[in-house]
Structures are given as structure tokens and as C-alpha cells.
Structure 1
Amino acid sequence: MSTARYLALIDLLRAQEFPAQRGRSDTGFSGPGYHTAELIVAGQFGDDDAAQVAETREQCVAEHEALLAVLGVKWGEPQFFSLWSLLERSIAGEEIPEPWQELSARFDSLHVWRADGRWIVVGLAPALGEAEVPSYELMAVVTEVDPP
């Protein structure tokens, strides 16, 4: 998918109503007050795929940076939002609202914009798949739920 398609998808999610209950969507998950879009889920590499892991990481980082640049032109500089404290609060038993609970479990940090009463969130993270081998994930989220 290209940066133009990512932007079109984010704009589509911004225009959609939020569902009453959480469920799978064509792009990821949606729930009360949020939509997610899994823009890139790449990987599931074995131990001897170091070159492929490095190449995929470079591609994901480049696409992430390109998307941040386009969104920065559209809405200005993003806020950098670290999720470590949310994860710690969640582990300690505090209830964190979605989508922030899920985001704090999947990403270390996010880039966040506020536009037209909604938050637009972009995150890039290495992720451990079911086999606990590295993969990469680029996600966009549109939410009306304020960051806790």
C-alpha cells in the first residue's frame, strides 16, 4: 500500500461512525469511539532470515516516516506520546480505556494529531508473533477517546 492509500484510509476512518461494540473490521478492529487500521503487518521470520528482517524493517521505517511527513503537512507537527506509563498503570490494575489499552500493549510510543474532534494516531513497532519471532507492524488509529 502506498502513502496515498494510507492517507485515504485514515480519511475514510475519520468520516465513519464508531460502532457500539468492538469487532473485526476490514482494516483491523473498531469499537466504541475508535477505528484501527493495520497498515503493515510484515514478517514472521525465522532465525536465519536476518537479511530479510533488516530489509523489511527498513521498508517499514521508510513507510512510517513517509506517512508521518504527509500527515505533518496536513495537520502540523505531531505530539510524541510514550506509552510506557500506560502499560505500567495497566499492569498495576488500572483500567485504561480502549483503544489506548491495546495500543500500550503493542507499541512503545505513538505519533498523535488532533483534528476535527478526533485523535489520529500512528505507531510502528516490532512485534512478536505467535511463534515469538520478529515481525513489524504499522498501525493507524482514529479515536474520539482522549489519551488517558
Structure 2
Amino acid sequence: MTMARHLATIDLLCSRDFPTEYGRSDVGTEGPGYHIAELATSDDFWEDDGTERDETETQYEFDRDGLSERLTSRWGSPGIFSLASVLERATDGEDIPEPWGTLSSHVPDVHLWKAVGHERWVALGVSQWDRELPFQLLAVVTEVDPP
């Protein structure tokens, strides 16, 4: 059921108009030219010795890969797009367009498609802002080309 709900959320965002302002939405955050859905969020890891964190990270990557397989059947194989160089460029002062600038600070890489029929980019990634904070499975739908 969760996989079906994630796919339904992605479908919704592929057809939803983009907002003119930055803010929260019913599924995550959004701004001009993009939607970010927080498909799943783990617990935090303040009291963890590292074991639970590692297991959770593996599970979130497994969930991303399973969802990626479903989207591959629609749009073909994804590109794996590292955001490390984007983060480096942003750190060096380059103005990186959203959502890519913010994503690069907490998502190491994304599975990326150009959604056929929607002319939007769809990306899946696993986010963690800091070692003690929760993991999130994110879906990004944007008209902004990756930098």
C-alpha cells in the first residue's frame, strides 16, 4: 500500500501547478518551479550507537530503489545524479537554482527522470540533514533543469 501511495503522490505532483511562493504543502515543501514530497520520515538518532542509523539508512535506500524500479517501468532507466559537485559549487558562492541548491546540502545523489508526458524532472533521493536527525525518502518534481 505504501508504494501505491508514493506513486500516487508523484503522479499528483506531476500534474499539480507550481506555486508562485515558497512554502509548505500538504506533502512537503514547494516553491516556484518545484514540489518536494516527504514520502517517509524515520525517527531521529539522538540515543543511537550507530546500528539503528545504519539499518535505517539501508532500508530507506532499499525503499528508494524499489520505487525507482516502478518509475523505470514508466520512463526508462534513471540517471544517477550526484549532488556533491552542486554542493561544492554552492559552497564556493555560485547561485544554484532551487530545488537543487537546498537538496545538495542534505541529499548526496538522486535517481532522475524526465517524466514523459509531463515535461518535468522527477527525482528520488534519501535525505539526512545531520547524523542525529531523521532520514527522509524524498520525491522531487520540478521544471528546473539540474545544474
- What is the TM-score when the length of structure 2 is the normalising length? 0.90
- Runs of at least 5 residues in structure 1 that lack an aligned partner in the other structure: none
What does residue 92 of structure 2 align with?
92
Write the letter of the residue equivalent to 2:146: P
Query: Cα 1:18–1:90, aligned 2, differ >3 Å: closer, same or farther?
Result: same
What does residue 143 of structure 1 align with?
142
Write the letter of the residue equivalent to 2:113: W
Deviation digits for residues 27-63 of structure 1 (CA, Å, limit 9, x no counterpart):
1111100000011121212344545334433432221
Note if contact 1:83-1:109 (Cα within 8 Å) is conserved in structure 2: yes
What does residue 43 of structure 1 align with?
43
Note if contact 1:125-1:138 (Cα within 8 Å) is conserved in structure 2: yes
d(CA) in 2 for partners of 1:96 and 1:75? 26
d(CA) in 1 for partners of 2:102 and 2:48? 30
Query: Cα 1:48–1:102, aligned 2, differ >3 Å: closer, same or farther?
Result: closer
d(CA) in 2 for partners of 1:56 and 1:93? 33
What does residue 18 of structure 2 align with?
18
Structure 1's consecutive aligned runs of 4 or more residues displaced over 6 angstroms after TM superposition are none
**Pick from 118, 121, 136: which aligns with 1:119?**
121
RMSD: 1.7
Write the letter of the residue equivalent to 2:101: Q
Number of paired residues? 145
